[in-house]
Amino acid sequence: MNREISGLSSMATRPILAELSEHIRLTHGIPVRFEAAGGVEIARRVREGVTADLLVLAGGAMAALEKEGHLLAGTVRPLWISQVVAAVPEGTPVPALGSASDLRAALLSAKKIAYSTGPSGTALVELIDRLDLTDLIGPRLLQAPPGVPAGTLLSSGRADLAFQQHSELMDLPGVLVAGPLPGDTAISSLFSAGVLTSSTHPTRAREVLDLLGSDAATKAARARGMRAPEDG
């Protein structure tokens, strides 16, 4: 019997990894299971010595963990690029996002603005500062708890505008994706994968890693709002 290959990932890649795990099981006969949580939480677990075979996180976190010796040298590879999008509660007016001026107007008109933890949330806060809006809208910012989609704060009525990775917002009930951020305000994250040094089956883990970078996986990722790095 094939041993299950275990993986850890952030929430942004959870839907695509669940789909690909099922595809790999059915097509290649390799049982794969990923556990997802907030990216900061997953990185903490890795540093504390959790046992798993594969890791999928934002590129910056992966580079740091590789440097610290938590990933097998030469196994880290880029998988997909994900854009941060804006979203509103379903049934409410959709803000224009064709220009930086449109984005400023949307931010200024929102009563509460939800955003996520991790790199994309940090990038949004930095963008707001770059737009010289921190003093004006800082008190309106509402960070979702780790591992909780910012979009849930829309559906619960706690926020009227949210920003997060497209994959985490696109299927949430009561949430409407308004679109990506315009021009040079765009925020994107590169997600990479690698084999953990704690893996007890590194050869089989490398095989699964190759399958995550296959054309079939890229096609599935595009359907989830992501793209391959070579797509530009």
pTM for the whole thing? 0.84
| CA–CA gap between residue 77 and residue 54 (Å, rounded) | 12
Residues 6+ apart with CB under 8 A from 226: 16, 80, 81, 82, 166, 167, 191
Q: Which residues contact 184 (CB under 8 A, 6 or more apart)?
A: 100
pLDDT value at residue 187: 93
Sorted by where each starts, the structural domains of the chain and their CATH numbers stand as 5-80+190-231 (3.40.190.10), 82-185 (3.40.190.10)
Taking the C-alpha atoms of residue 89 and residue 171, their distance in angstroms, rounded to an integer, is 13
- Phi, psi of 203, rounded to the nearest 5 degrees: -65, -45
- pLDDT tens across the length of the chain (232 residues): 478 999 999 888 988 999 999 999 999 999 999 999 888 899 999 999 999 999 999 999 999 999 999 999 999 999 999 999 999 999 999 999 999 999 999 999 999 999 988 788 899 999 999 999 999 999 999 999 887 889 999 989 999 999 998 888 888 899 999 999 999 999 998 999 999 999 999 999 999 999 999 988 998 888 888 888 877 5
CA distance 131 to 127: 6
pLDDT at position 149:
85
- pLDDT number for residue 232: 55
